[in-house]
A and B are shown apart, each in its own frame.
Chain A
Amino acid sequence: MNQLNALAGGLFILTVFGIVGLRQVIGCLRLFVMQSVLLAVSALILGIETGSIHLFAVAGLTIGTKALLIPWLLYRLLSHEIHARREIRQVLSIPTSLLIAAGLTIFAYFTVRPLLDINSSAFIRVNLPIGMGGIVVGAFAITMRREALPQLLGILTMENGAFMAGISIAPNLPLIAELAAAFDVLIIALVTGLLTRRIHRRVGTTRVGDMASLKEE
């Protein structure tokens, strides 16, 4: 059980790397779906192990919003704009950014090590570093990618990473907070999706990384 959870965690962090380095924009969306499913699997395993119905609800909520609703929403809003789009010029070459992402994951692990020394069950030892790695590499993905949808997916990846850590360290956060947070993620996706569509209509492209006209000179 513990190892299945670790397997889900390992594959989770792989999908985060994929969001940093995958060229095809639709591919990033599929990776995000896989990532949310892995998060739900981890929540399910934790729920079975600790016997808490709460985590089952979280798993169901994750699948419902992040694996189904948000991708459907984004696809509906943006399929016209992102169809077959690929990022051709990156900020850094893909192997370099993958290497930096791997380094950042290790850095994230060392950030949370003092916390793990104090109090840790087997699940916290796996979920917390992986969640923190997801957050840090997600932030890196936002700075690296130039297209709008991968940047949005970077934000959602960070939220997924925070949840991944959260299901192990804060398993009995009031359900209202979990519901509200899920709702909040949905609104992020909705708002950003609508904004992307409007940008595409106005500016003609979704390469938001190139929009840098507001500067001092």
Chain B
Amino acid sequence: MELSMVLLIPAVAATLAGIFGNRAHAAAAATLIGTLAVFLLSVHITFGPALGIHGSIRGLAGWLSCDYLSALVLLLVSFVGFTATLFSLGYIGRAVKAKGLARTARYWVRYNLFLLSMLAVPLISQVAMVWIAVELTTLLSVFLVGFEDNPEALEAAWKYVVLTCMGAAFALIGVLILYWGLRTSGAGEFTWAGLTLAGLRIQPAFLKTAFFFILIGFGTKAGLVPLHTWLPDAHSQAPSPVCALLSGVETTTALYVILRLLPVLTWIPGHPAGTWSVSFGLISAGAAAFLLLQVKDYKRLFAFSTIEHMGIILVAAGLGGGAAHLGATYQIMAHAVTKSFCFFAAGATLLITGTRKIDTVRGLIRTSPVAGISLMLGGLAIAGASPFAVFISEFSIIKAGLAAGHYVIIGLLTLFIAIAFCGIMYQINKMVFGRPPAARAAYRLPATCAAALAVAVIPVVLLGVFIPAPLHHVLKLAAFALGR
């Protein structure tokens, strides 16, 4: 019941926004109320009694289901959805001011639909429908990515659509092979739970082929190298709140599907799933760390950092063992809240300076203290400095890896994290400190943007020092869903 409500609310909000047409403020208000409601509902689902007793909730006659890992992703999606809505209220008004209110209303419609598709991914139980939901997250966000309507944004949107749909077609054949393997080995539901149960029975050849195709297919969507080329473009050309959604949670939902397959493959001797995950993860983290060093645009900087973090999560999940898996779920959570905060800071910077290039931004802290401090905090947090959440998660992954004896992997991972740290901090320092360029008229950030920054920074700072016990409980149980 609650699960269907979670999906119904954004749909209603989208319809209302569509109906309201020119009255952008009404559409925005509807969205705000909707996302707040969804967030509260997901908090209730995650920490509420129903999940605790049964370990999983079912809804809509079995089409929807939610266990701890789904609940975690759901919680993150709804949180970032809420804060991004808050940020959009101020941002869209300023950024689109010349284009009229009708466009703003269309933004809200697309925003709600996009949020709906992302909420659906963790909740749907049938694997074939999950594929469709992931496809829809792409298709419903294409015009959000190209919202600014200049040639660069359209180029980014085009690459986004083509490369992601290409990956989705690969993933489709993977899903079909998985279904075939399930049917050949006997009866069973084609859901995540059913697959995990049947993992022992299905022939390894089916599982390995299917996993390979789903890894490269949805890996394209999650930004794994070498199919990541769309990601820096799309995640930098989209409007900042949309970037926060894309980087923070859309890549996570794509990765979620891959992670769901890991427990199905744990029984194969030789752990091919683990090996492939670790290799792809390391390659992504390494490539992203090196590519990070030569960016000229600060939103692309954060986009490459997303690729790196996705790589780290995949490495952690592939290493195996409870501690590494706990690190992986922690990293998922930390990355979602921190990356969305970073993009809000980037959005504030864009509003104030009007440019995306790092070289032209100097002395941000003098021009606008709020933006400067947020950017600094965001940069530090995402690069993995203590006392932020990402530091804890990366540290626990490294610890777990060393304890299990994977010295080479962890060594490489630490190296990549260090390179990325230096790269990010160098660029952020250049932007935040220094002498600001010729005096600019003081620009006040819209109140809602500042409010969004304030709301978003809370978990970033808080989760680095203290994790509430229920949250830790959820993270641990979600880690169990990743396999042995």
A203→B153 CA distance, assembly (Å): 11
A194 CA to B206 CA, complexed, in Å: 38
Q: In the complex, what residues of A have CB within 8 A of residue B183's CB? A: 170, 172
CB-based contact A177/B126 at 8 Å:
yes
Q: Can you list, as one digit per residue, whether each of B131-150 has a CB less than 8 Å from chain A (1) or not (0)?
A: 01001100100110010011
> Chain B: interface residue count, which band?
35 or more
User: Which listed residue (A131, A203, A211, A214) contacts B173, Cβ 8 A?
Assistant: A131
Please state if B142 and A202 are interface contacts (CB–CB under 8 Å): no
Interface residues of B in 146-188 (CB under 8 A from A): 146, 149-152, 154-158, 161-162, 165-166, 169-170, 172-173, 176-177, 179-180, 183-184
- Check if B16 is an interface residue, CB within 8 A of chain A: no
DSSP class of A's interface residues: helix, strand, loop or mixed? helix
Report B381-419 CB contacts with A as 1/0, cut-off 8 Å.
000000000000000000000000000000000000000
The reply to whether A202 and B154 form a contact with Cβ atoms under 8 Å apart is yes
Query: Interface code A131-146, partner B: CB below 8 Å = 1, 0 otherwise?
Result: 1100100110010000
Which residues of chain B are within 8 angstroms of A216 by Cβ–Cβ distance?
Answer: 291, 294-296, 300
Q: Which of A112, A135, A165, A211 interacts with B158 by CB under 8 Å?
A: A211
Residue of A nearest to B132 (CB): A180
Is A165 within 8 A of B176, CB to CB?
yes
Q: How far is the CA of A195 from the CA of B156 in the complex (A)?
A: 11
Report the minimum CB–CB distance from B136 to chain A (whole Å): 7
Query: How far is A195 from B386 in the complex, measured between Cα atoms in Å?
Result: 43
Main SS at interface, chain B: helix
Q: Is B96 an interface residue (CB 8 A)?
A: no
Contact (Cβ within 8 A) A187 B139: yes
Given the interface pairs A155-B162, A170-B183, A174-B128, the reply to whether A115 lies near B209 with Cβ below 8 Å is yes
CA distance A111 to B128 in the complex (A): 22
Q: Which residues of B contact A202 (CB under 8 A)?
A: 149-151, 154
Chain A residues with Cβ under 8 A from B180's Cβ? 115, 119, 169-170
C-alpha gap A117/B289 in the complex (Å): 42
Residues of A within 8 A of B205 (CB): 114-115, 118
Q: Does B203 sit at the interface, judged by CB under 8 A?
A: yes
> Which B-chain residue is minimally distant from A203 (CB atoms)?
B151
A115 to B236, CA, bound (A): 41
> How distant is B350 from chain A, measured CB to nearest CB, in Å?
16
Judged by a CB distance under 8 angstroms, whether B104 is at the interface is no
- Is B233 part of the binding interface, using a Cβ–Cβ cutoff of 8 Å? yes
Are A114 and B154 interface neighbours, CB within 8 A? no
A211 to B156, CA, bound (A): 9
Give the chain A neighbours of B184 by CB distance below 8 A: 118-119
Contact among B143, B158, B203, B206 with A148 in the assembled complex (CB-CB below 8 Å): B158
Complexed CA–CA distance, A214 and B236 (Å): 10
The reply to whether B209 and A162 form a contact with Cβ atoms under 8 Å apart is no
Q: Which of B152, B156, B177 has the most CB of A within 10 A?
A: B177
CA distance A192 to B150 in the complex (A): 17
Q: How far is the CA of A115 from the CA of B178 in the complex (A)?
A: 11
B128 touches A142 (CB 8 A): no
Q: For the complex, is A27 an interface residue (Cβ under 8 Å from B)? A: no
Q: Once bound together, how far apart are the Cα atoms of A176 and B62, in whole Å?
A: 14
CB closest chain-A residue, reference B156: A214
**Contact residues in A for B156 (Cβ distance below 8 Å):** 214
Q: Which A residues between 164 and 217 are near B, CB-CB below 8 angstroms?
A: 165-166, 169-170, 172-174, 176-177, 180-181, 184, 187-188, 191-192, 194-195, 198-199, 202-203, 208, 211-214, 216-217
The residues of B that contact A132 with a CB separation of less than 8 Å are 173
Partner of A184, one of B132, B162, B206: B132
**Cβ of A151 < 8 Å from any Cβ of B?**
yes
Interface mask (A116-127 → B, CB under 8 Å = 1, otherwise 0): 001100000000
Give A177 to B179 CA distance when docked, in angstroms. Answer: 12
- Would you call A211 and B151 a contact (CB within 8 A)? yes
B455 at the interface (CB under 8 A from A): no
Interface presence of B237 (CB below 8 A): yes
What's the Cα separation between A1 and B165 when bound, in Å?
34
A158 at the interface (CB under 8 A from B): yes
Residues of B within 8 A of A199 (CB): 154-155, 158
**Contacts A195-B146, A214-B152, A216-B296; A158 near B132 (Cβ below 8 A):** no
Bound CA–CA A8/B121 (angstroms) = 36
Question: CB-nearest residue of chain A relative to B172?
Answer: A162
Residues of A within 8 A of B158 (CB): 148, 195, 199, 208, 211
Residues of A within 8 A of B166 (CB): 139, 142, 154-155, 158
Interface presence of B129 (CB below 8 A): yes
Query: Is there a chain B Cβ closer than 8 Å to A81's Cβ?
Result: no
Mark A70-112 against chain B: 1 for CB-CB distance below 8 A, else 0: 0000000000000000000000000000000000000000011
Residues of A contacting B155 with CB < 8 Å?
199, 208, 211-214
> Are the CB atoms of B173 and A192 closer together than 8 Å?
no
Task: Find chain A residues with CB under 8 A from B295 CB.
Answer: 216
A131 to B184, CA, bound (A): 19
By a beta-carbon cutoff of 8 Å, the part of chain B in contact with chain A is: 126, 128-129, 132, 135-136, 139, 142-143, 146, 149-152, 154-158, 161-162, 165-166, 169-170, 172-173, 176-177, 179-180, 183-184, 203, 205-206, 209, 232-233, 236-237, 291, 294-296, 300
23 contacts between A and B (CB under 8 A): A112-B209, A114-B209, A115-B180, A118-B184, A118-B205, A158-B165, A158-B166, A169-B179, A170-B179, A176-B129, A177-B126, A180-B132, A181-B172, A184-B136, A187-B136, A191-B143, A195-B146, A195-B157, A202-B150, A211-B158, A213-B155, A214-B233, A216-B291
Residues of A within 8 A of B (CB): 111-112, 114-115, 118-119, 131-132, 135, 138-139, 142, 148, 151-152, 154-155, 158-159, 161-162, 165-166, 169-170, 172-174, 176-177, 180-181, 184, 187-188, 191-192, 194-195, 198-199, 202-203, 208, 211-214, 216-217
